[in-house]
A and B are shown apart, each in its own frame.
Chain A
C-alpha cells in the first residue's frame, strides 16, 4: 500500500496534468498486476467500496483519545477524516497491501464495515490511515480525471489513448481483460454489443472580427444550450451516457437514457427542463453531485437530452459522412420520439444577421449563444480548421459579495472552494442586505485560494453542515452568461455560468453590484 499512498500524495500536490500522468504511469510501472486494477478503480472512483459512518468511527476513536485534545486538533485541522487519520492510535504496524484492503472491505458483512476499518486503522501509519478513510468516505468525484488515467495507461503500455478510451467503459474494475491486453498478455477486449465511448469533437471559439469572412450558408447554425456536452452510446447489451471526458454518468440520468436505440452513438447537450423551459447549467449540479438519481430529484430536476449529431447509426459508423447527411439521418431516425429532441437548425441568413441571431438568443432562457457546424464536414476528433465554432454571448461582469463557502467536492480538496455569492439589496427598512444570486467553484491559483481560506476561517459566522456562512466583507469580480429570473431564490435572480475572475481584496462589500444593477443587465 506504500506505493499507492505515495501516489495519492504526489497526485494531490502535482503542479500540472502532465505531472499527474507521469506519476500514475510510474506507479503502474512499479507495482504488481494485482494492485494496478484496484488503484485505477479507486482514483477514477469506479470501484465500489462500502461507505461507513464517520460519527460511529469517531466515537470509537474518542474511547481511546482525550476528547479535549481531539477537539483542539479538529479545530486546527478542520477536516474530520484527516483529524481521525492523524490521531488514530496504531497498535502495531503490519504490511497490508492495497488488494488486501479492498478485499477486506468488500468482504465485510453488513454492519461489520466499521469494525473492519477500525482493524485496518489499528495497523497502519497515518498516511495510509488517511487513504483508508478516503476510500470508505469516498465521494463521487474522481481523484484524477479519467482522461488523464487513460493517457497514463496508454503511455505506460504504448497504446493509443483513443483505443484505451474506447474499451474503457465496457469493463468494470479491476479491469482484468484491459490490463491483460495492455501488457500484451491477452487479446484486445471484445467490445461487440457493449456501449463504447468515442472521442468527441470539440468546437473552437468564433472570432467575431472574422464575421465578414464567413459564409453563413456553409454552416448549420443552432442554439448553443446551457448544458453538459454528452454522448449517448446504446448497444445490444447496454446503454450508457458519457461526459465529453468519457465519464460514465448513466446512473445519474436514467430519465435521459430511457430512449430506445439500437447500436448507435449520439451526441448532444444534457439539460434540465422545467415547465417547458431549459434551465441554466448549474441546475445540473444537484444531479451530478449524487451517486444515483432519486425519484424526487428526477421530478424536481428533470433531465433531457437534446441531440445534434450521430456517430454510429444502427451499427454503421457514419462519422465520415458530412454533417448535412448526418443531420438528415438524425431527423429521419427520430421523428417524434419522446424524451429526446433533435436540435432545430436556425434559418440560413446573411452575414450581418448572424450577429442578430446570436443577439436574439440572449433573450432565450437556457441558451448561451450559437453553434456553427460546417454542413460539408465529417465528424472528426480534431476540430480541423474551425469546422465547429461556438459563438457565445459575451460574459457580463459584476462584483459580488461572499455569503457562504463550502469545501471542494474532490477527496483532494480540503479547502473551501465553492462559493455562494450575493448581490446587494435594500429592504423596506432601508437596510442593505446581500441576497444570493449564484454559486461558483473557484478555479484560480492555489495560493490565492489559500488566502481566501484564511479569510473565511477568520470570518465564519455560522455552520450548516459542511457550509459556512461568513461575515460580509470579501468581494469577487465575476463574469456570467446571463441574468435570469428565479422564483426559488430570495433575490428572484440567478446568474448563469457564473465564474470567479478575481478577488477584490481592497474593495468594500458595500460597493458590490446591487440587485437593481443586475436587473439592468437582464436582456
Chain B
C-alpha cells in the first residue's frame, strides 16, 4: 500500500509565492500577496500585506490590522481553534503553536492525507500564549531555526537570575532591552512580571501599541508606559524596551550608560553573542530548541518530515538516522532572524 504522505507532494507545492495547496487554491503564509491566504501567525516573514482573503485566528488578524491597517486584506475571516473549515475539497483547521499570541499550526486534510504546517513554534510554557498541541499527521512541516544540537535554551528562570544579578550590580543604570515588537517583547515582560518585577516598564511606540492589543486580548502585562509620552521622567534604573531596528539614540539624553540587553536563542553560542555587542545576552527564544524539536517530531510521529527555514541539514540527518523520512523544503522569504 502506498504511504499517505507520498501523495501530499502532488497537491501541496512550493511555488514562487510560497506554499500552495492546489485543490483548495490557497497559500499558507505566502511571501507575496495572493487571492487566498491562511496565516499561521502575524510575524512579518509569515503574514504579508495585500492578500485578498485571509484566514487566521482573531489575534493574528488583530495584529495584522495593527501593522498593515487596510492593507491587512480585503476579507478577513477569523477561525476558532479546532473548527474545521472546508475550502473546496480540502478541510483546514487551526491548533495552537505556542510561538506568540494567536500563533497556530494549520492542519490540511485531503483524500485521507493529513499535513500539518506548524509555522514557528515552541514547547516552553509561555504566559502570553497557549501551549503547543501535538496534532497527529502524515506529513509534519517544521521549522528548524535552532536545528543544531548545540542549541538548548536554558530555563528562563536562570536567565532572569542573570538579569537580576546585573541589575543589582548596577542599580543606577537603565536596562535597555532590544526585542521584536510582537511576541518577544510581551513574553519578556510577562516573564519579568512572573519573576516579581512589578515596576512600570517603558516601551517604544510600536511595542506599546502591540502590548495594548495583548492587554485587550486578555494578557496581563502590568503597568506599561510609552517612552514618548513621559518625556520629563528620568529613566535611571528603569527597564526600557525598543524594537531591534530602532536606535536608542532618540532617548540618548535620557539614558546614560545603559545596560544593553537582548534575548535570543542564538546567544547560546558565545561567538555569536558578541555580534551585537550587548552587555546582557539572555538566552530566551520563542522557537523550539534542538531537544524540543526532536522530541516534537517523535511525539507527532509523522510518516514524513519536511524541514523549512533553519539548519535543515542537521535536522534531516537526525530524522534519517532515526529511521524517519525527511526532506528540505526551501520556502522563499524566510530570513535567518528569529521572528
Residues of A within 8 A of B (CB): 6, 9-10, 12-15, 19, 22-23, 26, 65-66, 68-69, 72-73, 76-79, 82-83, 86-87, 125-127, 130, 414-415, 445-447, 449-450, 453
Contact = CB atoms under 8 A, between A and B. Distances in A.
Given A15-B279, A82-B269, A10 B166 contact: yes
Nearest to B152: A126
B277 A445 contact: yes
In this complex, the member of B154, B165, B271, B313 whose beta carbon has the largest number of chain A beta carbons within 10 angstroms is B271
B162 A72 contact: no
B271 A77 contact: yes
Contact of A77 (B154, B269, B314, B318): B269
Contacts of B321: 66, 68
In this complex, the member of B150, B169, B314 whose beta carbon has the largest number of chain A beta carbons within 10 angstroms is B150
Contacts of A126: 152, 154
A450 B277 contact: yes
Contacts of B276: 447, 450
A23 B169 contact: yes
A11 to B, nearest CB: 11
8 contacts: A6-B162, A10-B166, A13-B279, A15-B260, A66-B321, A73-B148, A126-B154, A446-B274
A8 to B, nearest CB: 10
Given A78-B271, A79-B270, A82-B270, A26 B152 contact: no
A22 B169 CA distance: 7
A403 to B, nearest CB: 22
Interface of B: 148-150, 152, 154, 162, 165-166, 168-170, 259-260, 268-271, 273-281, 311, 313-314, 317-318, 321
A83 B150 contact: yes
B271 A87 contact: no
Contacts of A450: 274-277
B146 to A, nearest CB: 11
Contact of B170 (A9, A13, A22, A73): A22
A10 B269 contact: no
B277 A446 contact: yes
Given A9-B162, A26-B168, A82-B269, A72 B311 contact: yes
A126 B152 CA distance: 9
What secondary structure prevails in chain B residues at the interface with A? mixed
Contact of B271 (A15, A26, A82): A82
Nearest to A22: B169
Contacts of B260: 15
A69 B269 CA distance: 16
A81 to B, nearest CB: 10
A72 B277 contact: no
Contact of B154 (A83, A127, A447): A127
B279 A86 contact: no
B149 A73 contact: yes
Nearest to B268: A86
Contacts of A125: 154
Contacts of A22: 169-170
A86 B162 contact: no
A69 B271 contact: no
B271 A415 contact: yes
Nearest to B151: A86
B337 to A, nearest CB: 15
9 A-B pairs with the lowest CB-CB distances in the bound complex, closest first: A414-B271, A446-B277, A86-B150, A450-B275, A72-B314, A73-B150, A15-B279, A447-B277, A26-B169
Given A10-B165, A14-B279, A127-B154, A414 B149 contact: no
B150 A414 contact: no
Contacts of A414: 270-271, 274
A23 B166 CA distance: 8
B278 A13 contact: yes
Contacts of A453: 271
In this complex, the member of B148, B260, B280, B313 whose beta carbon has the largest number of chain A beta carbons within 10 angstroms is B148
Contacts of B271: 77-79, 82, 414-415, 453
A445 B276 CA distance: 11
A69 B169 contact: no
Contact of A12 (B150, B270, B318): B270
A22 to B, nearest CB: 5
Contacts of B149: 65, 69, 73, 86-87
A79 B259 CA distance: 27
A82 B150 CA distance: 9
B317 A13 contact: no
A514 B150 CA distance: 45
Contact of B150 (A15, A77, A449): A77
Contacts of B318: 66, 69
A319 to B, nearest CB: 37
A37 B109 CA distance: 65
A5 to B, nearest CB: 10
Contacts of A69: 148-149, 314, 317-318
Nearest to A68: B317
Nearest to B170: A22
B280 A13 contact: yes
B166 A87 contact: no
B262 to A, nearest CB: 11
A102 to B, nearest CB: 23
Contacts of A19: 169-170, 279
Nearest to A126: B152
Contacts of A79: 270-271
Nearest to A407: B271
A6 B164 CA distance: 12
B148 A76 contact: yes
Contacts of B275: 447, 450
Contacts of A130: 270
A22 B167 CA distance: 12
A13 B262 CA distance: 12
Contacts of B311: 72, 76
A409 to B, nearest CB: 15
